[in-house]
Amino acid sequence: MSALLITNIGTLVGIHPQDTLMLRGQQMQQLPTLEDAWILCEDGKISDFGKMEQLPEQLPNHISTHDAKKGFVFPSWCDSHTHIVFAASREEEFVMKIDGKSYEDIAAAGGGILNSAKKMQSESEDALYQSAAQRLSDMINQGTGAVEIKSGYGLSTDSELKMLRVIQRLKNNFNIPIKASFLAAHAYPPEYKNDHDGYIKLIIDEMLPKIAAEGLADYMDAFCEQGFFSVDDTDRLLQAGAKYGLKPKIHANQLAVSGGVQIGVKNHAVSVDHLEATDHAVIESLQSSNTIATLLPSCSFYLNIPFANARGLMNANIPVAVATDYNPGSTPSGNMNLVVSLACIKLRMRPEEAVNAATLNGAAAMELSETTGSIAKGKTANLFITRPMSSLAFLPYSFGQSQIQTIVLNGKIS
Ligand code: NIG
Ligand code: FE
């Protein structure tokens, strides 16, 4: 039995009612807070919280106390879209981009995802684990307390399994919730360049049964985009995944409107991610579903591509989440604080909306919002404590800098 009492909290942020598991567009403006507060964590969970003037007199034995010194306490960031298992960085492409090449130019020249896939083939599982674990530790130190991780740089049965086993090891060794998505449909490998049907069959007939047998994936992903996987390919793949209980979380409309969002919604996707390009039909299809629109503003920033129409989505009452997309090609950063700043600056989300998108809705985009993503009794005590701040808006305002001083995971200062 362990207990931690955090006292003198300037503002306790994100106190949503216990049964609020996702916030749709307009609801995202509400971010309930408590000033001058305490919070009690017992056995890894939030057991109570309140105002300092009503600090309980009876406290559990063996309690440790931490003085927040007027800092803010937030629920940890929930990063619902990452690709942190990769063999090598790609800063040569970074320089190509500076010289004027587009993401598509680089991919067509054998760079991009295929470049990462080549490097993946020869990397050992141990080396992959070590580098991914380092990235994950860095993310946790920047306030992330739940994460989704994708495969997708394998593009062969052995390499996809290798990546998913690395994610499994991360799940076993880290004390935060981790979800795994199977993304073999990330690019057509060179040997299937002229045989797309052959690769889809390989995914459906060979990879999926093995992955399901080992229980290595929670979700089915696909990069539905012109030059990558068509709407029909994506539909087939999502239906095949569903047979093994894998719900879709897909990449759609990063480079152009593709019909990917609608095919995701049709297959009951938990989320459709990217959406740098949207039109009226996209908004209409999301409006009548529970699918979350996950936006990745640091990807737009890094690739110099348009930013998603967050305001249009929220005005249409669609639930919006934000995530990093941490990967070696389009977003080499796992910093959710920067994502929240970019959500405000570039997606024009208000600080309250951006924080909700990065916490409760991010948790919902991993089906984890019953246990994390807000301050509620019984939820996992994954939190961070900031320096004293003049207001909530100071956090995204001070972009590129961290206000975080202390990380609490499972009710323990880490
Ligand atoms: O989400 N768009 C597809 N996948 C990644 C990029 C992968 C890469 O370039 O390595 C993304 O941006
Ligand atoms: Fe991605």
**pLDDT computed for residue 273 by the predictor:** 98
**pLDDT computed for residue 297 by the predictor:** 98
**pLDDT computed for residue 36 by the predictor:** 98
Q: Measured between alpha carbons, how far is 107 from 197 in angstroms, rounded to an integer?
A: 21
Pocket test for ligand 1, best of 251, 327, 331, 339 (most atoms within 8 A of CB): 327
Gap between the terminal Cα atoms of the chain: 17
Structure tokens at 343: 């959500």
**pLDDT computed for residue 89 by the predictor:** 96
- Whether 319 is in the pocket of ligand 1, judged by its Cβ within 6 Å, is no
In 3D, which of 265, 269, 274, 264 has the Cα closest to residue 246? 269
| Domain edges within the chain | 3-75+373-413, 78-364
Q: Where are the alpha helices (DSSP H) in 247-348?
A: 260-266, 280-287, 297-303, 310-315, 336-345
Contact 217, 246 (CB under 8 A): yes
Burial 48-78 (b: 16+ CB within 10 A, else e): ebeeeeeeeeeeeeeeeebebeebbbbbbbb
Nearest protein Cα to ligand 1, atom 1? 325
Contact 374, 14 (CB under 8 A): yes
pLDDT in tens, 21-43: 999 999 999 999 999 999 999 99
Instruction: Map residue 167 onto helix, strand or coil.
Output: helix
Nearest protein Cα to ligand 1, atom 11? 330
Ligand 2 ion: Cβ-proximal residues, 5 Å cutoff: 325
Nearest protein Cα to ligand 1, atom 6? 330
Structure tokens at 47: 């057991």
- Whether 254 is in the pocket of ligand 1, judged by its Cβ within 6 Å, is yes
pTM of the model: 0.97
H or E stretch at 73: strand 71-75
Contact 160, 182 (CB under 8 A): yes
In 3D, which of 271, 398, 292 has the Cα closest to residue 23? 292
User: Would you mind telling me the total number of residues written for the chain in this entry?
Assistant: 414
What does the DSSP 8-state code read for residue 26? G
The answer for residues whose C-beta is within 8 angstroms of residue 97's C-beta and 6 or more apart is: 103, 106, 303, 304
CB atoms under 10 Å from CB of 197, counted, come to 10
Topology annotation, domain 78-364: TIM Barrel (3.20.20)
Q: Where are the alpha helices (DSSP H) in 174-327?
A: 196-201, 208-214, 231-243, 260-266, 280-287, 297-303, 310-315
Topology annotation, domain 3-75+373-413: Urease, subunit C; domain 1 (2.30.40)
Ligand nearest to the CA of 113: 1
Nearest protein Cα to ligand 1, atom 5? 330
pLDDT < 50: residue spans in the chain:
none
The alpha carbon of 40 and the centre of ligand 2 are apart by a number of angstroms equal to 36
Structure tokens at 287: 């409006």
**pLDDT computed for residue 109 by the predictor:** 82
What does the DSSP 8-state code read for residue 27? G
**pLDDT computed for residue 98 by the predictor:** 93
Contact 345, 395 (CB under 8 A): no
Pocket test for ligand 1, best of 273, 276, 295, 330 (most atoms within 8 A of CB): 330
**pLDDT computed for residue 2 by the predictor:** 87
Q: Where are the alpha helices (DSSP H) in 174-230?
A: 196-201, 208-214
Nearest protein Cα to ligand 1, atom 3? 223
